[in-house]
Amino acid sequence: MQTHRDTQIVASAVIPNAQAGPMDPMVQSLVLRPRLNDPLLRPEQAAQLLSVKTSWIYDAVRTGRLPCLRVGRHIRFTQTMLEDWLTNP
């Protein structure tokens, strides 16, 4: 299972026994700190920016391959998060 490299490294530093795989949402919210001036994007908008299907976005988030922000039960992204993810595979 593939994870975002930088996210996993930071998660290991926060939680000593962190294993490779999907990140715990609590750890993910501590690790990924978006800028508050960036607008939050819906999965459909993220899919359009990445030129992929919306179903791929949901699958990538579920398996821990794509970082996201959780607002209640909703997943959101910032353009900065997506750009960082693209440049640091």
Claim: this prediction has a pTM higher than 0.75? no
Quick: pLDDT tens for 3-39.
444 433 333 333 344 444 555 555 555 455 555 678 9
Q: Give alpha helix (H) positions in the chain.
A: 5-14, 25-31, 43-50, 54-62, 79-87
- Backbone angle region of 64, left / alpha / beta, with phi > 0 → left and psi within -120 to 50 → alpha: left
Q: Domain residues for 64?
A: 5-87
Quote the CA–CA distance of 50 and 21 in Å, as a whole number: 22
Q: How wide is the angle at C-alpha 20 spanned by C-alphas 25 and 48, nearest 5°?
A: 60
Total domains present in the chain:
1
Coil, helix or strand for 76?
A: strand
